[in-house]
Amino acid sequence: MNVRKFSLIFIPVLAVVVLGGAAAYKLFFSSKIHTPPTAAQLQSWQYNVDKITTNLQGSSMIQIQLTLQALSTKVDAELTERNAQLDDVVIGVLHNLSASQIEAPGGRTYMKNLILKRVNAILTTGKITAVYIQNMIVQ
């Protein structure tokens, strides 16, 4: 077979393979565009932690109520099952913080990030994505 005949067969076959691959990619991967969750979905994936009153490092006290945001109802169910562990984790974080750390610039964010990290460490079905403070009193 000479080079000319080979190229007359090879080029169309290669074009069909490339176009077929591109079509398959578009069909299977690009059609799965992820849309952000709606407000109603986000609300259904929230878990409200019971109000916690505990000592902070030093002689201060804190009363706090949190909401944890997840991206699935499985996480919400696990948080309900692990309610005692969840309270223990949050109290453990709070006991290691002082009032001045929480009230300092960026202190609330630091506290929320610690809680997020420690809660995610006990979860097995997913992760929480945010910690919201509903109410907080530091004395």
What's the average model confidence in pLDDT over 17-32?
71
pLDDT at residue 32 greater than cutoff 80: no
What's the average model confidence in pLDDT over 33-48?
84
Q: Are 133 and 68 in contact (CB under 8 A)?
A: no
Amino acid letter, residue 37: P
Instruction: Tell whether 24 and 77 lie within a shared domain.
Output: no
Residues whose CB falls within 8 Å of the CB of residue 37, separated by 6 or more in sequence, listed in order:
45, 71
Q: What is the mean pLDDT of the chain?
A: 88
Residue 72: the pLDDT is: 86
pLDDT at residue 44 greater than cutoff 80: yes
Return d(Cα 66, Cα 107) in angstroms, integer: 15
Instruction: Tell whether 24 and 58 lie within a shared domain.
Output: no
pTM of the model: 0.73
Residue 100: the pLDDT is: 96
Instruction: Tell whether 105 and 76 lie within a shared domain.
Output: yes
Task: Give which of 74, 88, 66 is closest to 126, Cα–Cα.
Answer: 74
Element holding 111 (H helix, E strand): helix 107-122
Residue 43: the pLDDT is: 85
Instruction: Tell whether 4 and 65 lie within a shared domain.
Output: no
Q: Are 128 and 118 in contact (CB under 8 A)?
A: no
pLDDT at residue 31 greater than cutoff 70: no
Instruction: Tell whether 71 and 95 lie within a shared domain.
Output: yes
Q: How many domains does the chain have?
A: 2
Q: Are 110 and 61 in contact (CB under 8 A)?
A: no
What's the average model confidence in pLDDT over 104-121?
96
What's the average model confidence in pLDDT over 41-67?
93
Residue 1: the pLDDT is: 58
β-pair partners for 57: 98
What's the average model confidence in pLDDT over 116-125?
96
- For 27, the domain range is 1-33
CATH number for the domain harbouring residue 134 = 3.30.479.30
β-pair partners for 63: 53, 137
